[in-house]
Amino acid sequence: MTSLIHQERGQTLRRAAVRATLAPSIHNTQPWRFVLSADALEIHADPARQLRVLDPRGRQMTISCGCALFNARASIAAAGYDPPVERLPDPMQPDLVARVRVREARRDWIPIGALDAEADRRHTNRRRFSDEPVPPADVAALVAAADAEGAVLFPVERTEHRQSTARLSQLADEIENADPAYRAELRAWTTDDARRRDGVPAAAVPHTDAGSGDEVPIRDFDTRGMGWLPTETQSSMRQCLLLLGSAADDPVAWLRSGEALERVLLELTRRGYVASPFTQVIEVARTNALLRQELALTMYPHILLRVGRASAITPNRRRRLVDMIAE
């Protein structure tokens, strides 16, 4: 009986590792490695996949790993187990961001297990969103999802806050695009090669042109003029904008924010919505400080989400499991 229990738990951990690989990541870098042992799943950041220009502190890489961690937790919960987590458990291994185990459930139903199935359906969507508003009840549910993970989701609703967010996002986008090193890094992580398993593919980005109509600019991934999606995206400050952040600004807070981000993304997917992330305004120190000041934020912002409904897109490809998971 004991051996059967160990076998079942081992299979649960293996499935959790596979589900973790479906998480979103900055520029689809998939900056992680997963190590399976007899009783735990370790999630390691992969510094070789860190964006050195855009993300010199490793904040976005850690947030991405947090998204993977939440997927693993949801998978274990869906199997009927509790998923206890040690976050940044070993100071001597800074790339070891989390260790997840399998424990008998202390209650009959674990809420995050219901989100496991949404990981297959969740995709970043950069298309034009419909004009249909997101009802307050759905926004409240997303705020509660972030709160349950120890993060803060701030709806950008006041007119002056929307205007500030749009203006500062435009400024940040201009500052980043003026940096040759940033543009070179962006080119390295975008591709029109259908065989490539990482990076942002041309099929998932709008074709660059003067007619996007964006007030909150979508990042210009169309570095080679090969974008497959329509140019007009109409990313508007009047759409549902949600700012995710945390009370602290350190690796543990980044990891927890990634978990909260993925919980929010899976929850909105379950409700029939899609999301498009914006991080330019966060990445540029000047606009980050102004955003906190003008929106009177007491938290540290990490990501801005546009939420709504849109036509489906082609999912990004994933690296081979053998290149991400080791035993």
- Pair 70, 262: CB distance under 8 Å: yes
Total of domains in the chain: 2
Shared-domain flag, residues 110 and 186: no
Question: How far is it, in rounded angstroms, from Cα 213 to Cα 206?
Answer: 12
- Pair 50, 41: CB distance under 8 Å: no
Cβ within 8 Å of residue 193, ≥6 positions away: none
Shared-domain flag, residues 86 and 152: no
**What's 69's domain CATH number?**
3.40.109.10
pLDDT band per the 50, 70, 90 thresholds, residue 1: very low
How does pLDDT run across 304-326, given as a tens digit for each residue? Answer: 999 999 888 778 889 999 999 99
Shared-domain flag, residues 88 and 50: yes
Shared-domain flag, residues 71 and 98: yes
Please report whether residue 131 resides in a domain. Answer: no
Residue type, 184: A
Shared-domain flag, residues 160 and 218: yes
Question: How far is it, in rounded angstroms, from Cα 281 to Cα 278?
Answer: 7
Question: How far is it, in rounded angstroms, from Cα 94 to Cα 285?
Answer: 25
Please report whether residue 261 resides in a domain. Answer: yes
Structure tokens at 149: 């993970």
Q: How many CA atoms lie within 13 A of 189 on its CB side?
A: 23
Please report whether residue 90 resides in a domain. Answer: yes
Tokens 């206890």 correspond to 84
Position 219 scores a pLDDT of 65
Asked whether the predicted pLDDT for residue 76 surpasses 70, the reply is: yes
Cβ within 8 Å of residue 141, ≥6 positions away: 267, 271
Q: In what order do the strands lie in the sheet with 240-246?
A: 152-155, 240-246, 300-308, 274-278
Position 200 scores a pLDDT of 80
Across 194-203, average pLDDT? 81
**Long-range CB contacts (< 8 A, 24+ apart) of 20-23?**
20/68, 20/69, 20/71, 20/72, 20/75, 21/68, 21/318, 21/319, 21/321, 21/324, 21/325, 22/71, 22/119, 22/120, 22/122, 22/318, 23/64, 23/67, 23/68, 23/70, 23/71, 23/119, 23/262
How does pLDDT run across 114-165, given as a tens digit for each residue? Answer: 999 999 999 988 778 888 999 999 999 999 999 999 999 999 999 999 999 9
Shared-domain flag, residues 171 and 198: yes
DSSP state of 112: G
Please report whether residue 130 resides in a domain. Answer: no
Question: Please, what is the angle between helix 251-270 and helix 59-78, to 10°?
Answer: 50
Which domain covers residue 103, as residue numbers? 2-119+317-326
Question: How far is it, in rounded angstroms, from Cα 82 to Cα 101?
Answer: 8
